[in-house]
Amino acid sequence: MAERADVVFVDGVRTPFGRAGEKGMYWNTRADDLVVKAIVGLLERNPSVPKDRIDDVAIAATTQTGDQGLTLGRTAAILAGLPKSVPGFSIDRMCAGAMTSVAMLSGSIGFGQYDLAIGGGVEHMGHHPMGSGVDPNPRFVSERMVSEDALVMGATAERIHDRFPHLTKERADRYALGSQQKTAAAYAAGKIQQDLVPVAIRTAEGWGLATKDEVMRPETTLEGLAGLKTPFRPHGRVTAGNASGLNDGATAALLASGSAAKEFGLQPKMKLVSYAFAGVDPEIMGIGPVPATEKALRRAGLKMDDIGLLEVNEAFAVQVLSLLDHYGIDDDDPRVNPWGGAIAVGHPLASSGVRLMNQLASQFAERPDVRYGITTMCVGLGQGGTMIWENPNYSRKAAKKA
């Protein structure tokens, strides 16, 4: 039996995230072309990787039909120019699709069966709105397994506000404003662009190039947020301003065993420590990161106090606040999403897990004083996913200075 191998995150890229719909920059772009562009960009950044040594390609999509169907991992690998000897598959865990792709590939690497793998995700919510074409079994509602709210993500966020009244709309709005401000600052400092793969786009004005996220709103104010409509409930608390939008985009990550990274001269950006997925009541799916994080920390033998950086997917501001509140972390703690998050840049469902990893990896490079970081997210229908990573740049000397 093969011994357990170290699993490392070598590199990750993503396309700029676009606004879903006819007015979005990717309306005339195929979903599979987005993820192919990400894979090609990833391999161009890592020319020493022998393409024929890649053991698998796992690409996630939530709505697996049309240009997001046909076993994306396989078709995208062929379209990206990988040898036909490289296999691939598609995967779906809704919002945590790309995270699950990375986790499952990491398991194969850790078991000693894979040396190199590519994981990622794509969601073209303009072409494939969430829930389009699905036929939920009527037993879910008729037998009261879940409430009808469970199928509407915004309604589940309202239920978190109900359960934790101290997580007010005002706190959610303040958190959302902070996300916009931090993302604007990160863009101004050139921190986000380094992992973006430009995409050629065709609009009514002609051909252009997508080089930045389309949905950022740096002009956001608390006053503006306070006046937004609450579409999921009259006099509710969830708005378009304190939640992620409907977006299009793709991500791709290169994973390797520690020995393969050395063999091919690859410099790991992160080392995987542990990962976990957990289920919760679908009606309050946003609290999923809490049990998933507890499980991942327990498996790693760590506590939250050991974690120096947290990349938390901002599906809804209240969902992030529920995680922070559970661990007694301040809403504006500098460890949390220091470059902003999905409220500002977007959340193309199945692709977002690798975006979190990209940002954590880039922050690790700047923070040798931080040893461990977390990427975590809530998942539709009542789940959460968490991965814990170790910083290969960690220095005890730097940590003492900090």
Told to judge if 326 belongs to the known catalytic residues of this protein, a careful annotator would answer no
**Among residues 194, 218, 227, which one has the least CA distance to residue 366?**
194
Residue with tokens 């040594």: 53
Helix (H, G, I), strand (E, B) or coil at 89: strand
Set 124, 127, 128, 378: catalytic member: 378
378 is catalytic: yes
277-to-62, 286, 291, 320, 387 alpha-carbon distances in Å? 17, 13, 8, 17, 9
The Cα 219–Cα 214 span in angstroms is: 14
Active-site pick, 95, 124, 128, 161? 95
Q: Which two tokens stand for residue 380?
A: 């539709």
Contact 80, 52 (CB under 8 A): no
> Is 128 known to be catalytic?
no
Pair of tokens at residue 48: 């020493």
Find all residues with CB under 8 Å of 18, minimum gap 6, and list them.
24, 25, 26, 126, 210, 213, 214, 215, 247, 248, 249, 346
For the chain, the residue count is 402
Q: Strand 307-312 vs strand 270-279: parallel, antiparallel, or unpaired?
A: unpaired
Q: What is the distance between the alpha carbons of residues 398 and 260, in angstroms, rounded to a whole number?
A: 29
Catalytic residues: 95, 347, 378
